[in-house]
């Protein structure tokens, strides 16, 4: 089982667990949405609310 989340821009991301998913989202956000200035807490909250098991 994996964890999956879809960025508001439509880019799907998945990883083995929430901590790994955080790293994937971090990399995507830093590259494509640096203006959002997401903190780790922001991203972890997003994962807690929106990530699904796949
Ligand atoms: Zn995105």
Q: Give the model's pLDDT for residue 19.
A: 97
User: Within 10 A of 21 (CB to CB), how many other CB atoms are there?
Assistant: 22
CA of 7 to the centre of ligand 1 (A): 5
Residues 6+ apart with CB under 8 A from 29: 7, 36, 38, 43
pLDDT cut 90: percent of the chain above it: 100
Question: Rounded to whole angstroms, how far apart are CA atoms 15 and 19?
Answer: 8
**Taking ligand 1, which is a single-atom ion, which protein residues have CB atoms under 5 Å away?**
7, 9, 11, 32
Residues 6+ apart with CB under 8 A from 42: none
Report the domain count for the chain: 1
State the Rg of the chain over Cα.
Answer: 10
Domain with 15 in it: 3-53
The per-residue pLDDT for range 22-43, each reduced to its tens digit, is 999 999 999 999 999 999 999 9
């Amino acid at each position: 089982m994996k964890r999956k989340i879809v960025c508001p821009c439509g880019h799907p991301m998945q990883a083995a667990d929430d901590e790994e998913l955080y790293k994937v989202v971090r990399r995507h956000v830093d590259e494509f949405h640096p203006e959002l200035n997401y903190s780790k807490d922001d991203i972890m909250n997003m994962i807690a609310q929106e990530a699904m098991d796949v």
